[in-house]
Amino acid sequence: MSNKINAALAVLLLLLALPAIAEEMHPQLVPNGFQAITALSEATGLSVPAGSTSAMICVETDTVVWRDDGPAPTSTSGMAAPAGLPCWLYSGSLSAIKFIAQTPANAPAIDVSFYR
């Protein structure tokens, strides 16, 4: 009987701790600004509001190429992100990430929401 009580107490303690564990793994994002980028014929970085630690990035109209490792992206060098791709939460170096149009004539647009 003692083992069943100990197991039940362990499960109860785990259930009580789950909200705190979830909050630590995925803290609440606080909005901290917005940027719409439509001129992507050259590698373009973000205008990051002070205090931002992550950004939700949405490619709206055509494929863009991005890099965040130092060199500027080109239409053939970097990570392609097509329009229609689900928005993604980026938490790398906000000052390093840059975007360029894969096909400049198509004038892609990116919407970015910043969070702290």
Number of C-alpha atoms within 13 angstroms, CB side, residue 65?
A: 16
Which residues have a Cβ under 8 Å from the Cβ of 89 and sit 6 or more positions away?
Answer: 54, 55, 56, 57
Number of domains within the chain:
1
Start-to-end CA distance of the chain, whole Å, equals 49
Does some domain include residue 14?
A: no
What residues does 89 pair with on adjacent strands?
Answer: 56
Here the CATH number for the domain that contains residue 36 is 2.60.120
Does some domain include residue 92?
A: yes
pTM for the whole thing?
A: 0.76
Does some domain include residue 45?
A: yes
Residue 104: which pLDDT band, with cuts at 50, 70 and 90? confident
Residue 22 pLDDT greater than 50, yes or no:
no
For 42, the domain range is 31-115
Residue 76: which pLDDT band, with cuts at 50, 70 and 90? very high
Residue 25 pLDDT greater than 90, yes or no:
no
Average pLDDT over residues 86-94: 95
